[in-house]
Chain A
Amino acid sequence: MTVAASRRRRGRTAAVPYAFLTPAIVLFVVFCIVPIGYSVYMSLRKAQVKGLGLRPGDRTEVFAGTRNYANALKDPELIHSVLRVLGYGLIVVPMMLGLALLFALLLDGTRARLVRSARIAIFLPYAIPTVIASLMWGFLYLPSVSPIVDLLGGADLFAPSTVLYSIANVAVWGGTGFNMMVIYTSLRAIPSDLYEAARIDGASELRIAFRIKIPLIVPSLVMTAVFAIISTLQVVSEPMALKPLSNSIISTWSPLMKVYTDAFERGDLYSAAATSVLLAVATLVLSFGFLRLVGDRAFASEGGS
C-alpha cells in the first residue's frame, strides 16, 4: 500500500515538469513539427490535370511517391544553384570570419580611446536590414547612378564574372560586425592573468594572439562558422533584392530562390516542398559534419579553459 501510494505520488511529481513544458511543446509542435510534416506531405504529392484544364475540377492532387525528389536531384538548375552557393560560401565564410577575428583582436589589443566608436562603426552594418543594404549596394554597383564605379575604372560589377563577388561583398559587409561582436565578447572573457603570465615570459602581442587568444576562443569561432555556413546555404535576400537590377542574377541563383520561384512563380508547391526538404537535410548534414570535424578540438580547448 505504501509502495502504491509513493508510486502515485512519484507519478504526480513526475508530471509536474511536463505541465510546465506543455506551452513550449505545444508551440513547438504547432509551429515547427506540423509545418515540417506538411511540407514532407506536400513533397509527396503532385497536381494532375485532365483535358485542357480549363474547367473547375479538371485539376486534382494525387500521390506522387518520390518523383518530386528524383526530379529535384537531377534538375540542372538546382545543381547549378548549389554549386554557385558553394562558391559564394567559399568567399563569404572565410572572408567574413577572418575580418571579424582580425577586428576583434585589434579592438581587444588596442588601448586607444577609439575602441568604442570603432566597435559601433563595425557593428552598425549588421543593424541595417539586408534588403536595404542590398539595394544600397545595388545602387553603388549600377554604373550610371553609382559614385564608385568610375573610381574603379568603369568595372562592370554586375557582369556574369563579377556578380558573385558583388553579392558576397554585401554579405561580408553586413555580417562581419555581428561575428566580430561574438568573438570580441569571448576575448573579453579570457582572464587577464593569462596575458600577464605570458608577458612575464616575454611573449609579444602577436604571439599572445596566436598562442593564447585564438586557441581559447575556438568554441566561439566554431559557433560563428556553423551559423555562417547555415546562412550561406540559405542566402536569398541579397540576390533577390539585386536581381531586378541585373541580367546576371537569374531567378534560380541560390537554392532558396529556386524554391521561391518554383512555389510562387511557377505555382508548383510540390516540387518546392521537395527541394526545401532536401535543402534542410543538406544544411543539417553540413552543420553537424562541420561540428564533428572540429568538435574534438573545440571541446578540448573548452575543457582546458
Chain B
Amino acid sequence: MRVKFAVAGVLALSLLATACGSSGDDESPETTPKAQGKVELSFWSWAPNIEKIVAKWNASHPDVHVTFSQQANGDDLATKILTASKAGNAPDVFQAEYQVLPTYISNNAVADIAKEAGDLKSRFADGVWSQVTLGGDAVYAIPQDSGPMMYYYRADLFEKYGLKVPTTWDEFAQQAEILHKKDPKKYLTNFSAADAGWFTGLAQQAGASWWSPSGDTWKVAVNDEATRKVAGFWSGLVQKDLIDKQPSYTPKWNKALADGTLLSWPSAVWGPGVLAANAPKTAGKWKIAPLPQWAAGENKTGSWGGSATAVSAGSKNKAAAAAFAAWLNTDSEATTDLVKESAVYPAATSAQTGPALQSAPEFFSNQPDFYTVAGQIAGTAQGFTFGPNVNVTYSAYKDAFAKAIASGGAFDGALDQMQTSTVDDMKKNGFKVS
C-alpha cells in the first residue's frame, strides 16, 4: 500500500515539476537575447490606446521593457488586482481609480513609492495629490487623470423644446417636467442604478462625507444629510416619472443618447469619449456647462472616476515600475498623448496648460473653449475621503437602488442599506467603526 502511494506521490511531484518548468518558458533566453540586466515590467490598464504610449516608452527606454495588457474597465480591473495580488501574480504597474486605492492599501496590494516618487508632489494640485497619499507620508500611486463632473446637454434639442440650461437642481427638475409634458417620450436624463461612482460624485457635490478616519476608528456616514438630499431629489423625479430609470451603458441607453430620447447627461470630463463612441452622429450637437448647483450662486462639483498609476506590493522591480508610472503621468510627451490618444483630463498641472488641451475634442468642435470651461469646473471639485471597502458600498448601491427603482422609487431605504452593508462589512473584518 505504502509503496503504491509513494509511486503516486512521485508521479504527482514530477507532473507538478514539469508544469512549473513549462510555465517559466516565456522568459527563455532566445526571446530576450541581450537581456543582461534588462528589466521586464507588466502593466494593466483600461485607458483606450494607451499601448501607443507604452510603445514610446519601450522605444526610448531600452533597459526597461513594459508589456501592456488591455483591461475591460475600472471595476473589473479592481476585482482582478485584488484577486491577483492574493494569488501573488499581480502586474508590476496598474491603473487604479482613486476610490479603490484605500481598498488596495488595506489589502496590501500597492507598494509605497514615496522614495521613488521623490519631489513629484509639486507637479500636482494638492487635492489630487492627497488622493494618492491619503494625507500621510506614503505615496501609493502617481495621479493620472481626474474626473470632475459637468453637465452635458443637447444644445439643438434644448432650443427645439425651449429649455434653458439649468443652473440649480431646482431648475433641473423644472426643465425635466417641462420637457416631459411637451413630449412624454423624451427625458432630460436617466437615473442609473448601475453607476455607483456617478451617484458618489453627485453626493460629493452636495458636501457628503462618507468615510472619515479619526485615530484608529472610521466614522462611516453613507446616509448623511447631504447624501439624503441628493437621493431625495432624484427619488422625487423617478417617482413622478419625470426622468428615465434605465441603467446607463446598455444598448437601449446608447440608442437613447443617439436618437435624442435623452437630452442631457450629468457626467464627467471624460464624457466626450463615451458620447463619440455611442452616439457618433450627434457630434457637434452637445455642449457642456457646470453641474446644476444646490444653491443659486454656488460653484461646486464632484468627481466621477479619475485614476492613478500604482505599483503592486509584490513587484520585484519597484524602482523601475515607479519610474515608468512617473514618466507616464508627468512627461510632457506622454501626457500630451494621454489627452490625444486616451481622451483623459490629465492630473499633472503642467499638462493641463499643455498644448494638447488648447483645442476642444473633435466631438465638441462646436465648443472651442471646451477645455477652458472644463478647467474652470475642475477647480471647483470637492474633496472626498474614500474608505477601505468602497467595493462593498458600490456593490450595495447597485443592488439597493436597482431594487428601489423596480419597486417604485423611494430611495431612503436604499441609502440606509448602503450604510448597513458598509458598516457590517467593516465590523466583520475587524475595523473599529463609530
Where the two chains meet, the residues of A that have a C-beta atom closer than 8 Å to any C-beta of B are 15, 18-19, 22-23, 25-26, 29-30, 46-59, 71, 139, 142-145, 159-160, 244-252, 261, 264-269
Contacts and interface: CB of A to CB of B under 8 A. Distances in A.
Contacts of B323: none
Given A59-B108, A142-B252, A266-B392, A244 B12 contact: no
Interface stretch (B3-11, B198-206, B276-284): B3-11
A250 B399 contact: yes
B134 A54 contact: yes
Interface of B: 3-4, 7-8, 11-12, 15-16, 75, 79, 82-83, 86, 102-103, 105-108, 112, 134, 136, 193-194, 213, 216-218, 245-247, 249-252, 255-256, 261, 313, 388-389, 391-392, 394-395, 398-399, 401-403, 405-407, 425, 428-432
A145 B252 contact: yes
A264 B76 CA distance: 9
B108 A245 contact: no
A25 B8 contact: yes
15 contacts: A18-B4, A23-B11, A46-B429, A50-B430, A54-B134, A56-B108, A142-B251, A144-B256, A247-B245, A249-B402, A250-B403, A251-B399, A265-B391, A268-B425, A268-B428
B114 to A, nearest CB: 13
A142 B16 CA distance: 49
Given A144-B255, A266-B392, A266-B395, 12 more contacts: A15-B4, A19-B7, A22-B8, A48-B429, A54-B136, A56-B108, A58-B106, A59-B107, A250-B403, A264-B82, A265-B392, A267-B392
A51 B391 contact: no
Nearest to A68: B428
A159 B246 CA distance: 11
A46 B428 contact: yes
Nearest to B211: A52
B7 A52 contact: no
Given A26-B15, A142-B251, A266 B425 contact: yes
A265 B293 CA distance: 33
Contact of A266 (B246, B249, B250, B391): B391
Nearest to A249: B402
Contacts of A48: 429-430
B264 to A, nearest CB: 18
Identify which of B82, B391, B428, B432 gathers the most chain A CB atoms within 10 Å of its CB. Answer: B428
Contacts of B407: 160
A90 to B, nearest CB: 22
Contact of A267 (B7, B12, B103, B213): B103
A-B residue pairs, 6 tightest by C-beta: A51-B216, A247-B402, A53-B106, A250-B399, A49-B430, A48-B430
A198 to B, nearest CB: 54
A53 B429 contact: yes
Nearest to A262: B395
A169 B23 CA distance: 43
Nearest to B245: A247
A298 B183 CA distance: 63
Contacts of A71: 428
Nearest to A163: B406
A97 to B, nearest CB: 31
Contacts of A55: 105
A29 B255 contact: no
A265 B15 CA distance: 34
Contact of A22 (B11, B217, B406, B432): B11
Contacts of A248: 402, 406
Contacts of B250: 142, 244-245
A247 B216 contact: no
Contacts of A47: 429-430
A264 B79 contact: yes
Nearest to B185: A144
Contacts of A252: 399
Contact of A247 (B82, B136, B193): B193
A124 B252 CA distance: 28
A54 B249 CA distance: 33
A239 to B, nearest CB: 13
A40 B252 CA distance: 42
Contacts of A246: 247
B83 A264 contact: yes
A25 B193 CA distance: 48
A265 to B, nearest CB: 5
A49 B106 contact: yes
Contacts of B134: 54
Looking at A51, A53, A59, A267, which has the most chain B CB atoms within 10 Å of its CB? A53
A247 B405 contact: yes
Nearest to A50: B430
A56 B8 CA distance: 41
A23 B217 CA distance: 54
A259 to B, nearest CB: 13
Contacts of A56: 108, 112, 313
B8 A267 contact: no
A49 B431 contact: yes
B261 A267 contact: no
Nearest to B194: A244
